[in-house]
Structure 1
Amino acid sequence: MKQEQVASDFLEALTKVSRRVRTAFNQQVTAHGLTYPRARALFRLAKRQNMTQTELACELELEQATLVRLLDRMEENGLIERQPDPNDRRAKLIKLTSHGEEQAAFVRAIADQLRAQIFEGIDLASLSNAVDLMERISTNIAEMEDLNVPA
């Protein structure tokens, strides 16, 4: 089989797996009354508190207006607080409330369980090689994007 065909098959498989992981995670969190975007936001904020709205929008790959609506609902539900950024009076820092931290821990537990199921029977060396491969592909894409930026 030619490299071109294997590369094409790989990208197709990667797309399918990515979609299936997202669908499985979405099913788990929605079964517990959360939305996928809210669960992702909780997960990110649990990893790094006091992010600005702009930083969170970038991490979640959401438009600013979409994120603001999401954060408004999260604030109404007592999951987050927005505080002024002492370094930039135009920016707001997002902090999980104690209820938000509980919900983030719940999301993390769902993710941990899902991850264990997804990687069942896959040895560490294979997984590590796959991570290396993904990082190399990501680097190649970033280099491609750099070449396409107008000077």
Structure 2
Amino acid sequence: MSETIGFLLNDSARLFRRAFNARTKGTGITALQWRLISYLKRHEGIRQGPLADLIEVEPITLSRMVDRLVESGLVERRADPTDRRAWQLYLTDRAGDLLHAMRRTAEDLNAEATDGLTPAELEQLAELVERIRANLSRRECLKEAI
């Protein structure tokens, strides 16, 4: 094999982001913003700090992204009832509609990227990549504990 698994996965992710951004150009939403919105769907009420950790961006970068999404009417900040200095993030109804449309775009892109793979190959690919992710997550957790 001429390329490492890490290179192939990273390059594939880059190509996914580029293709996704091209398909969603008219919406004003980037792949990273869509990822943020997707995480918020699963973790509504999360504070900005933990969300920045989840999507692996600097807190100031996340703050700017959230500012843009608030201005677009997709995200709202609400005061945290347990800490007056903190804000919790929530999706608006408009974001829910956008998520539905973007999910369809993502599904179409996934179908294009995996064209020619059998259902068994798709399942095996997902299992193998999940195992890689679990291995790396476990190592990161171990490093943080030290």
| Comparing 139-148 and 82-91, the one that deviates more | 139-148
Which position in structure 2 is the counterpart of 1:114? Answer: 109
> What is the letter of the counterpart of residue 18 of structure 1?
A
| Comparing 49-58 and 6-15, the one that deviates more | 6-15
Does the 8 Å CA contact 1:29/1:39 hold for their aligned counterparts? Answer: no
Change (3 A) 1:41 1:140: closer
The percent of aligned pairs where both chains have the same amino acid is 32
Runs of 4 or more off by more than 6 Å in structure 1? none
Q: What is the deviation of 1:105?
A: 1.9
Separation (CA, whole Å) in 1 of partners of 2:27 and 2:120: 34
Is the partner of 2:44 in helix, strand or coil? Answer: coil
Residues 1:42 and 2:37 are matched in the alignment: yes
Q: What is the deviation of 1:143?
A: 4.8
How many residues matched?
146
Q: 1:131 aligns with which of 112, 126, 134?
A: 126
Does the 8 Å CA contact 1:83/1:94 hold for their aligned counterparts? Answer: yes
| Structure with the greater alpha carbon radius of gyration | 1
Separation (CA, whole Å) in 2 of partners of 1:50 and 1:146: 24
What's the TM-score, normalizing by structure 1? 0.78
Q: 2:94 aligns with which of 70, 86, 99?
A: 99
Change (3 A) 1:146 1:53: closer
> What is the letter of the counterpart of residue 44 of structure 1?
Y
RMSD of the TM alignment (CA)? 2.5
> What is the letter of the counterpart of residue 100 of structure 1?
A
Change (3 A) 1:150 1:111: closer
Q: Deviations over 1:89-142 (max 9, x none)?
A: 433211111222222222212112212222223222212222222233234334
Q: 1:11 aligns with which of 6, 10, 16?
A: 6
5+ residue gaps, structure 2, are none
